Amino acid sequence: MMRYRLQGLPTQRNRWVLLFESVLIILSVVLGFALQGWGERRADRRIAQAAIENFRVEIEGNLNGLEQSQPKLAQFIDCLSGVGESGREVPWLS
């Protein structure tokens, strides 16, 4: 970067150069903040997508487990509903 020696009052040219450099510095800082925010939003989206995928997998696993246990539960309900009426014993309790 060029160095400017200001002696006394700055000249009109030096003022424009200082203003230009100041604007560049400010724009660089703003751009840096914007890029950092963009990166954080991308990371947050990745985390959210992973959480949604884990939730979906868990729900599907739970549904599969319910579908597998449903016939056994239906048989259990049928057996229990007949216990009081016929006086028969429940096979897994005897």
Q: What is the pLDDT of residue 89?
A: 60
Q: What is the dihedral of CA 7, 12, 16, 17, to 10 degrees?
A: -40
pTM of the model: 0.52
Per residue in 32-69, pLDDT tens? Answer: 999 999 999 999 999 999 999 999 999 999 999 988 88
Q: Is pLDDT at 7 greater than 80 in this prediction?
A: no
Identify the pLDDT of residue 90.
55
| Predicted pLDDT of residue 8 | 59
Mean pLDDT of 75-84: 74
> Of the candidates 66, 86, 84, which has an alpha carbon nearest to the alpha carbon of residue 74?
66
Dihedral sign from CA coordinates of 46, 47, 51, 54 = positive
